[in-house]
């Protein structure tokens, strides 16, 4: 199954040459470090779907000695592995450019990346090829655009919940968030797995 994860690099080796210039561009644009980490994490896992949404790729992968469970597992585990690698490379680049960043930046981008992956990965197996990229782009922009406003609105109007969150100790808050995100990710994995098992090629 590790081969399936490694496959992404072989497929994208040319695009990967653009990886560092891309990060540098964001750094020069003075983007928030959390956003840079997030965008860097997104590149490989989502680029893979340019290939994987094609029927031919699914026919190939399913004709090779892999099970469908392994193919989906490689998506979800691969996303985490590439996220870690992307954060490593981005940290080094930021460091080289003498840009400060905090562990909180990394934690925020990791959480957002995992949540975004958890919500979008199943969609890749539900929608027909060709439709999915516009949907993902629009949902990403929507989330980035109006997401914070919604959160602020909710924070103001659902005061009991806000109070509850603010009353938590910092370790409890972090543990809770980590657990929550892990649960969402695992549920998404399970759903995608069920969808993929039923697919016909």
Interface with other proteins by CB under 8 A: which residues? 3, 6-7, 10-11, 13, 51, 56-57, 59-60, 62-67, 200-201
Minimum CB distance to other proteins, residue 47 (Å): 12
**Is the CB of 99 or the CB of 199 nearer to other proteins?**
199
Q: How many residues does the chain have?
A: 201
- Scanning the structure block, which residue is given the tokens 């806000």? 162
Minimum CB distance to other proteins, residue 3 (Å): 4
Tokens of 153: 């609105």
Q: Of 122, 92, 121, 120, which is closest to residue 106 (Cα–Cα)?
A: 92
**Is the CB of 82 or the CB of 116 nearer to other proteins?**
82
Long-range contacts of the stretch 119-128 (C-beta < 8 A, 24+): 119/188, 120/46, 121/75, 121/76, 121/79, 121/188, 121/189, 121/192, 122/188, 122/191, 122/192, 122/195, 124/49, 124/52, 124/53, 125/192, 125/195, 125/196, 125/199, 126/195
**Is the CB of 36 or the CB of 75 nearer to other proteins?**
75
Minimum CB distance to other proteins, residue 64 (Å): 4
Minimum CB distance to other proteins, residue 4 (Å): 8
**Is the CB of 51 or the CB of 119 nearer to other proteins?**
51
């Amino acid at each position: 199954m590790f081969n399936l994860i490694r496959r992404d690099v072989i497929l994208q080796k040319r695009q990967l040459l653009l990886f560092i210039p891309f990060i540098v561009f964001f750094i020069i644009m003075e983007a928030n470090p959390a956003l840079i980490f997030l965008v860097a994490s997104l590149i490989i896992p989502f680029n893979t779907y340019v290939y994987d949404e094609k029927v031919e790729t699914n026919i190939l992968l399913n004709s090779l000695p892999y099970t469908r469970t392994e193919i989906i597992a490689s998506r979800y585990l691969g996303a985490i592995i590439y996220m870690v690698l992307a954060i490593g490379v981005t940290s080094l680049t930021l460091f080289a450019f003498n840009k400060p960043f905090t562990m909180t930046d990394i934690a925020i981008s990791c959480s957002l990346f995992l949540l975004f992956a958890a919500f979008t990965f199943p969609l890749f197996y539900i929608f027909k090829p060709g439709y999915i990229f516009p949907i993902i782009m629009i949902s990403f922009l929507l989330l980035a655009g109006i997401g914070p406003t919604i959160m602020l609105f909710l924070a103001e109007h659902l005061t009991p919940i806000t109070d509850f969150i603010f009353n938590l100790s910092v370790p409890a808050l972090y543990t809770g968030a980590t657990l929550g995100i892990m649960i969402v990710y695992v549920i998404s994995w399970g759903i995608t797995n069920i969808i993929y098992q039923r697919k016909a090629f």
